[in-house]
């Protein structure tokens, strides 16, 4: 048998991506049908990810009008329509490709999203973050703790082990916060000022007497309500940053503009 007989045939299928999935495509491929070459009979998931779209963003794939799963093999000549997560339509008769939503909305953020982690914690969301985690560690923890990966790196969302993830389009932390809340429909789940901005622990109200020696005497004299993180023991009070943080929360909750005009302060007090 000659070497040429082993060569895999170059085949083509017509693809069309819908709605926000176009964000992953180059300009000339957005909102239009295009031909995509491939060799052999690959799984439709592999071809889609080779095009540049992570599987975590996809909810439905139709091949020649028929709903298929990611393992469906392409043979060439098909018409493939790819749809994002459906929020407004009932597609229960079809084959949804994304896992069911997690019971609890918890996040893990990649190493470039430290400011966003603080913003989300300000809104009360459980956000795991460390600046020295690599992709494998992020995925391991996401799976172990059932967390949604938030990232600006499309590559991590293409890894087969990832089940829940979201690729951020925005590059500014304030815009990213609004984007996450809107994209994942989180406004009804906000619990502002219930988490520590530093370590992600839960905070609870404590008496002034219980904080003797932990806050300056002038602070203890000026304020009568204090909160403390159950994990790192950081103390919070409604100081100078509170009004700005409260405005940021109100903007996100109402959908009226960006979350704020700067990062959450180092000593922001809820």
The CATH number of the domain where 146 resides is what?
3.40.50
Final residue in a domain of this structure, among 144, 165, 192: 192
Final residue in a domain of this structure, among 158, 175, 192: 192
CATH number at residue 57: 3.10.20.30
224 lies in a domain?
no
Shared domain for 67 and 125, answered yes or no, is no
pLDDT in the model for residue 72: 96
State how far the Cα of 233 lies from the Cα of 235, in Å rounded to an integer.
Answer: 6
Structural domain span for residue 30: 3-84
16 lies in a domain?
yes
Count Cβ neighbours within 10 Å for each residue of 57-74 and write b for 16 or more, e otherwise. Answer: bbbbbbbeeeebebebeb
Shared domain for 133 and 57, answered yes or no, is no
For the chain, the domain total comes to: 2
Q: For each of the chain's 270 residues, which pLDDT tens digit applies?
A: 444 444 568 999 999 999 999 999 999 999 999 999 999 999 999 999 999 999 999 989 999 999 999 999 999 999 999 999 764 445 456 665 766 666 688 999 999 999 999 999 999 999 999 999 999 999 999 999 999 999 999 999 999 999 899 999 999 999 999 999 998 889 888 999 999 999 999 999 998 888 877 888 888 888 889 999 999 999 999 887 888 888 888 888 887 655 544 434 333 444
State how far the Cα of 25 lies from the Cα of 7, in Å rounded to an integer.
Answer: 29
Residue 145 CA to its chain's centroid (Å): 15
Shared domain for 111 and 187, answered yes or no, is yes
Q: For tokens 């103390």, what's the residue?
A: 235
Which residues, 6 or more positions from 214, have their beta carbon under 8 angstroms from its beta carbon?
A: 233, 235
Q: Using the Cα atoms of residue 26, residue 31, residue 35 and residue 37 in order, give the sign of their dihedral.
A: positive
Shared domain for 74 and 114, answered yes or no, is no
37 lies in a domain?
yes
For the beta carbon of residue 88, count every other beta carbon within 10 angstroms: 4
Shared domain for 122 and 67, answered yes or no, is no
Shared domain for 154 and 188, answered yes or no, is yes
Stated as kind and residue range, the H or E segment containing 17 is strand 10-17
167 lies in a domain?
yes
Which residues, 6 or more positions from 230, have their beta carbon under 8 angstroms from its beta carbon?
A: 201, 202, 203, 204
- Burial, 193: exposed, middle or buried (Cβ in 10 Å; 0-12, 13-18, 19+)? buried
Overall pTM > 0.85: no
72 lies in a domain?
yes
Final residue in a domain of this structure, among 160, 192, 224: 192
Shared domain for 14 and 62, answered yes or no, is yes
131 lies in a domain?
yes
């Amino acid at each position: 048998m000659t070497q040429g007989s082993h060569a895999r045939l170059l085949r083509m299928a017509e693809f069309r991506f819908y709605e926000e999935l176009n964000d992953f495509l180059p300009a000339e491929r957005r909102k239009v049908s295009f031909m995509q070459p491939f060799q052999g009979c690959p799984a439709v998931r592999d071809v889609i990810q080779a095009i540049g779209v992570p599987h975590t963003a996809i909810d439905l794939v139709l091949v020649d009008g028929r709903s298929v799963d990611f393992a469906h093999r392409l043979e060439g000549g098909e018409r493939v329509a790819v749809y994002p997560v459906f929020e407004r339509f009932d597609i229960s008769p079809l084959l949804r490709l994304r896992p069911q939503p997690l019971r609890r909305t918890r996040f893990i953020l990649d190493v470039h999203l430290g400011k966003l982690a603080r913003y989300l914690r300000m809104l009360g969301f459980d956000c795991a973050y460390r600046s020295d985690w690599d992709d494998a560690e992020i995925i391991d923890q996401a799976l172990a703790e059932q967390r949604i990966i938030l990232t600006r790196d499309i590559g991590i969302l293409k890894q087969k082990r990832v089940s829940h993830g979201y690729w951020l389009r925005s590059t500014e932390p304030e815009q990213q916060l609004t984007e996450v809340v809107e994209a994942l429909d989180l406004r009804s789940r906000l619990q502002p000022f219930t988490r520590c901005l530093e370590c992600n622990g839960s905070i609870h109200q404590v008496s002034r007497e219980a904080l003797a020696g932990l806050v300056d005497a002038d602070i203890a004299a000026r304020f009568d309500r204090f909160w403390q993180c159950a994990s790192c023991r950081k103390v919070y009070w409604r100081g100078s940053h509170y009004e700005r943080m409260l405005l940021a929360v109100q903007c996100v909750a109402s959908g009226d503009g960006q979350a704020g005009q700067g990062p959450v302060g180092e000593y922001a007090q809820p």
